[in-house]
Structure 1
Amino acid sequence: MSKAQDNVRTRRPAFDREAGIEIAQALFHQRGYDAVGISELTKALNINPPSLYAAYGSKAGLFGRCLARYVDEGNLPADRILTPGRPLAKAIEELFITAARLYVKSTLRRGCLAAEGMRANDEQARELANQYAKPGMQFIEDYIRQSEPERAKELGDFVVTTLRGFSAAAVTGLSRPRLLKVARMNGQAFAALLSLNSDT
């Protein structure tokens, strides 16, 4: 065999970075950022560690790319639920129910990737998750402010904290029917809160 033929035979195909992000995202979503090591990532992506660092900078850099993809493609579609003119209580109840369904849609990738990343042991991963979650959190608060300007902060905190609770419950195995029941209960609780004065 000639050298030219040998080079053709041994040449590896170019690494597809976007495909690598998809694979890594599934791993991070299934097992959490802290539980997925470099060796597992490189094996799943079929590359060596230097190639991973060259492509993504670091494990955290790869996680950031996964978060960006998740927010763009698989995150809770709050902008399609919290639309102008809707009764606030009904909109938030639908947001809760949609989140509950989304977080248990997959048997393996349960919960919200960003919300779970905010609980990672790794500080950089937490910061990245917070960075990608913050716009959604602000969007919810701003939407509430249109109807409840004086209570937007506290009601926004209630909604965001509730959603993070749904994610944690989904990850720990709460069934779809039970999580949906909790979502509806929280929708009723939010409606009740709207009828109360702010607790100062």
Structure 2
Amino acid sequence: MTTDKPARGRPRRFDPDQAIATAQSLFHARGYDDVSVADLTKAFGINPPSFYAAFGSKAQLYRRVLDRYALTGAIPLLEILGTSRPLAVSLAQVLEQAARAYAADPSATGCMVLEGTRCNDVEAREAACTFHVAAQDVIKNIIAERYPREADQLADYVSTTMAGLSASARHGQSLDRLLTTAQLASVALAHAIPAEM
């Protein structure tokens, strides 16, 4: 039989990777501003000096959480868009996957990056904005490979739709409604994209 209790006199070993995963859950569920250092140290089972020694600051921890989110929770844009399918089909899949991802966890709705772009902490907000702009650039650059003239407006439309899906999920909109919005947006994209040769 195993137990979670540490051996007498020996503290439980702190696992920074597990702490980052725990922080991701907290930031995603409650937003950056509503998670305090006290909340984090309690969740990690460490004291504030250990927290600052391990992560530097709450904003620096958030940056590491964003790195993890990019690998574990973000929409896989390159995987979806980097195919030979018609662009309208790929962009429709991006929007559908966004709707599904943003509603997947009822306790952590929306896109953590998009929600982070509105937080009050300047350093954390800039980190989230950097990730957001990088995702926008991926979308725009892939569109530009096929449709350089339309790349800006199509990428803006996709990014704006994703932001709306995230905000709507955060406010409790159901998956069915989010998918309907994604499907309507996909119809508009199909009309806006020139016929593929």
Quick check: TM above 0.5? yes
> Highest Rg: 1 or 2?
1
Q: Whole-Å Cα distance in 2 between the matches of residues 25 and 190 of structure 1?
A: 33
Task: Give the length in aligned residue pairs.
Answer: 189
Give the alignment of 1:49-88 within 5 angstroms. 49-88=48-87
Per-residue Cα deviation, 1:103-142 (whole angstroms, up to 9, x for no partner): 1111111111111111112111110111223322111001
Q: Deviations over 1:49-85 (max 9, x none)?
A: 1111110010001111111101011110111211242
SS across alignment from 1:9:
coil
Aligned to 1:163: 162
Residue 116 of structure 1 corresponds to which residue in structure 2? 115
Gapped regions of structure 1 (runs ≥ 5)? 1-7, 196-200
Residues 25-104 of structure 1: matches in 2 within 5 Å? 25-104=24-103
> Percent identity among equivalent residues?
43
Equivalents in 2 of 1:82, 1:123: separation in Å? 32
- Distance in 2 of aligned mates of 1:98 and 1:157: 18
Runs of 4+ deviating beyond 3 Å = none
Matched, 1:137 2:136: yes
Structure 1 residue 31: deviation in Å? Answer: 0.4
Paired letter, 1:19: Q
CA distance in 2 between partners of 1:72 and 1:133 (Å): 14
The question of 1:175 aligning with 2:154 is answered: no
Letter in 1 for 2:101: L
Structure 2 unaligned spans of 5+: 1-6
For residues 15-30 of structure 1, the aligned pairs below 5 Å read 15-30=14-29
What is the SS of the residue equivalent to 1:108? coil
> Matches of 1:18 and 1:84 in 2, distance apart?
33
Secondary structure, aligned partner of 2:8: helix
How far 1:175 moved relative to its partner?
0.2
